[in-house]
Structure 1
Amino acid sequence: MEMKDWRPFRIESVGEIFQKYFDAMQKYIYRIRFTSAEYQRKEMRLDFKRFRLSLWACIRTILQCLLSLAIRFNRNEEVNSSFEFLKEKLDLDIRKFNLIIFLCILFMESYWLFSFHHVINYRLRIVNVFDDCIKNSDRILFLKNRQHLIDGFVLVSFIIGTIAKITKIILLLLYCSVAAIIIYLTSILHNPIAIIVIVFFMFVSIQHFDGFSNIVYVIMIFFSFTLKFYHIRFKELIIRLRSIVSAIRMRNTFYYIESFAIRHLNEDYVKICDQIHRINVHTSQDFMFMELMFKYVMIFSTYQLQKYSISHFMVIVFVVLTLQFFLINHALYFMAAKLPISNQLYYQLSVNIDARIQFKTMRKFQKRNGPAICTKLKANTFMQLVNENRVGLSCDGMYLLTKMKLIEIFSLNVVLNILIYKHFIR
């Protein structure tokens, strides 16, 4: 498939390539909305989206634990006394109370359907990215504004990072409280396997929340590196473009500018991903190990759930809680998995295969320089993969993570929740 519709209708000056290049970078990787006025006032918008989703998942998990306690432990004296106290104070029937909690959980679970739909069906229209840069003159960046961007980003990173650490402490205390309640209300002390599973999940949760609290600082380092990297690249790009424009005819100007800019965009992106891969190679291995252990514990808990064991039923509630936070606060995992070995090979093979297919197709219809056509097609193949969503483009940014990985994690979440609600209904 050839790229024919992504190009803008006109290019007024060669200097606009700078703005297009920078805007493509920020939309592809970080999706930061900005204007030149905000840079001058040193104002940056605080994004609490993941923080809100974390609280949303936390409330949903608390409701799941309450409903499981109300239904599965209705013969326990401590639980009965607690619900009797609520019944006297709120004048609420226990069945209505369970129904209200169950409906609230279902309402909160509906968020996964919308979020999963947006992630899977997301398409980045390349033509909109470049057209916006030409039409919006107030978004043109100047050299002095880049320092305002870095200063503001450092401040925002510090604020959000502090809030994330406080959230981590609160969630860990909640984990410990729920674990203490489970141990106190059940006979889990007589089941060493269940104790090992809960201790393992406590360890995994601590590691996961610690990584989530440090994500903004990791992004800050990468963002500063990206600004410096692109600033150096643009100097070379503009100089070479000016020499090309002066040496060719005007009717071929757009073709050479488009080919040169897109080819370097592809090369720079691969270089940045290589740097990220070198920095995060150990982090990505840790997260891959965590994902593997998640699957083993999920299989074990699902098998034990078939025996209708109360303790293992609460263990699978822990599984769902950790899995949902794993899905919501996914930024560090995706950043660590941007370019692992498997995805890197997949990306290179996809580019080479698509370039060969297009080269053979074009060679049948027109006789031109073979290596030049193949280079041009390889550069545009990156845009094609993005437009066709074949490199795993998510709503938060570009990650070389396939759709099948998202579908697999989402399916595990759905299956485990169905098992829990199946016991709730009974």
Structure 2
Amino acid sequence: MDLNEWRPYRITTIADVFKVYFRLAKKYTIRMEYDLEDYKNRRINFTFGNLRRASIDFIRFLLVSVFLATMILARDTESILSAKSFETMLEIDRIDLLFLLYMAVSSLLEYLWIYTFWEILVYDSAYNEFIAIQYKFDDSKLESNNKRLLLKYFIIRGYLMGIAYKIYALFFMGIFTILSHKHYALYVTDQVTLLDLVSVLIPFFILMYHLIFVSGQMFLVMFCFEFSIRFLRIRFQQLCSSATIQINRLNPLPTRFMRMYYEIYANIAKFNQSAQNYFFVTELLSKINMIFLTVFYSKQTQLKSSSFLILYISVQMIVNTTLVYHMVSFFATKNLLYYRSLLINFIRFQFVTKRTSSPLYTKARPRNLISMKAKRYDCSADLKKNFFLQTMPSNMIGFTCGRLFLITSYKYVELLLMNLIFILLFYKKLLLKEL
């Protein structure tokens, strides 16, 4: 990724942000080159030339899986391709657990690619439709302060995530350099043959390259995914904040608010059609990481820097998932809070309107004031507003984890507590087994 593209003068509108997101998604998630006009007109080029990147990435995934499976199965042998030999060189106990974790992570990411590719193949991609809507987003719908904060967040955080991605890439290439040096030393001392040296270094180079590719998905694409959620959250929060201003006015539920609410709800629902699968995969990855974290930590006889770094990366993945869930749980919770506020004020407004139009009230008031109050009362408009308020608590606004559950604040806290209990019980089971 070219970090120069994250300079402030390049990113001036929200549409520019989603153009960067779409470009990164095509490189790491979709793995195919096309534009939204091709998708809209069903003219995407599905030739081998356009699918070459996806084919190479999938073949690399298969080669890495075979390489890791070979090392796991040959763990206790004296072969240079055994996990035992890598444990000695990297000074890590039970490195085969790390290989199993990476196979699970890469397999789930490949599943996401197949799922996304199939949606594009049949021209039924909710993600593409969501991006197309944001390409035409009018920045005037955002308050100037909110727009400035969003763009500043994207530029600074995106630049830092790009640097982190490059650091991880250099780190993985550094591991390859160290292992190459150690294996070459074995070759010089005639402990391994040239064929053994080549049979280890080539697959390991492919593994490191694939790790860099996965890091791009984890850092760059997931950051843009997080920004999309933050963008929708700020829009929804801004809308609800503007509604609270109407509390002391004669019209507590203006038509403009309902129209904007439907628009934001449609955007969230459209994005959720694609995002729900990603949330399901991240939840699976979080649970797999917890199991790995507990088992791997219990198997370390001595916690060295290499083992600590692996544990840190695993914890980071769990924490990132937790933070995203916390951000997403905002929608359903705030929707209910604003619904209650709007309902109370709307009932108060209706009560005042009914009272002022009653016969007892009209006898004691001037006629011109009575006619003015009568003009303000519109039965059809009240029916629409009543129907709108009735649908607010049941419209399931927000994001779902697959088709399992809606991510609310209650579900977020429940998952957090369950994860802590899960780790404690799993670790207790391992301790009892060792004793």
**Which interval holds the TM-score relative to the shorter structure?**
0.3 to 0.5
Query: Which structure has the larger Rg?
Result: 2
TM-score by structure 1 length?
0.33
- Higher RCO (Cα < 8 Å, 6 or more apart): 1
